[in-house]
Amino acid sequence: MYSHLTILAHSTHDGADRQSEHGALHMHWDIATVRLRPNDLLMFVRFLSRWGVSGEPNADEEWCTFSRTEQGTIQLWLGQIGMSVSQAEFTTLIDLVEHAAALLVAGESHSAPPQPKIRDCPALTIDTSAIVLN
Amino acid sequence: MLCQRILIVAAHGPMRAIAQGDDGDLVLLWDSTLLYLTRDSLLCLDDVLTRAKHEESVSTDQFQWHPAPDDAALVWMGRTCFYLPSEDKPIFCALVHEAAEQLRSLALRELRSQSPFSPAFCQLTVAEADEVALN
Q: State how far residue B36 is from chain A, nearest Cα, in angstroms.
A: 5
Task: Residue count of chain A, please give it.
Answer: 134
A130: in domain: no
Q: State how far residue A31 is from chain B, nearest Cα, in angstroms.
A: 5
Our count of domains for chain B comes to: 1
Q: How far apart are CA A124 and CA A86, in angstroms?
A: 18
Name the residue range of residue A38's domain. Answer: 5-124
Model pLDDT for residues B86-113, shown as the tens digit of each residue:
999 999 999 999 999 999 987 766 656 6
Q: How far apart are CA B55 and CA B29, in angstroms?
A: 26
Partner residue facing B34 (CB), from A33, A36, A79: A33
Asked if A131 is an interface residue toward chain B (Cβ–Cβ < 8 A), one would say no
Give chain B's largest Cα–Cα span.
53
How many angstroms separate the first and last alpha carbons of chain A? 7
Query: What is the pLDDT at residue B118?
Result: 40
B1: in domain: no
The CA–CA distances, whole Å, from B101 to A31, B5, B9, B42 equal: 23, 20, 9, 10
Q: How far apart are CA A43 and CA A101, in angstroms?
A: 10
Cβ-based contacts under 8 A for chains A and B = 57
B76: in domain: yes
Q: pLDDT under 70 in chain A at which residues?
A: 1-16, 18-23, 108-134
Beta bridge partners of A16: A10, A28
A73: in domain: yes
Q: B83 φ, ψ to 5°?
A: -90, 120
Name the residue range of residue B106's domain. Answer: 6-134
Q: Is ipTM > 0.90 here?
A: no
CB A73 within 8 A of CB A85: yes
Asked if A34 is an interface residue toward chain B (Cβ–Cβ < 8 A), one would say yes
B127: in domain: yes
Which CATH number is B39's domain given? Answer: 2.30.31
A131: in domain: no
On chain A, the residues whose CB falls within 8 A of the CB of B74 are 82
Partner residue facing B34 (CB), from A32, A79, A84: A32
The CB-based long-range contact list for A43-48 (8 Å cut-off, 24+ gap) reads A44/A78, A44/A97, A45/A97, A45/A98, A45/A101, A48/A93, A48/A94, A48/A97, A48/A98
Model pLDDT for residues A2-11, shown as the tens digit of each residue:
556 666 666 6
The candidate with the shortest Cα–Cα distance to A79, out of A27, A1, A13, A6, is A27
- Upper half-sphere CA count for residue B121 (Cβ side, 13 Å): 15
A16: in domain: yes
Asked if A14 is an interface residue toward chain B (Cβ–Cβ < 8 A), one would say no
Higher-confidence residue of B48 and B15: namely B48
On chain A, the residues whose CB falls within 8 A of the CB of B84 are 80
Model pLDDT for residues B29-59, shown as the tens digit of each residue:
999 899 999 999 999 999 999 999 999 999 9
Query: Minimal Cα distance from A131: which residue of B?
Result: B2
Our count of domains for chain A comes to: 1
Q: State how far residue A48 is from chain B, nearest Cα, in angstroms.
A: 18
Which CATH number is A104's domain given? Answer: 2.30.31
On chain B, the residues whose CB falls within 8 A of the CB of A36 are 32
CB A109 within 8 A of CB A103: yes
Q: How far apart are CA A7 and CA B129, in angstroms?
A: 48
- Upper half-sphere CA count for residue A27 (Cβ side, 13 Å): 25
Contact A84 B81 (CB under 8 A): yes
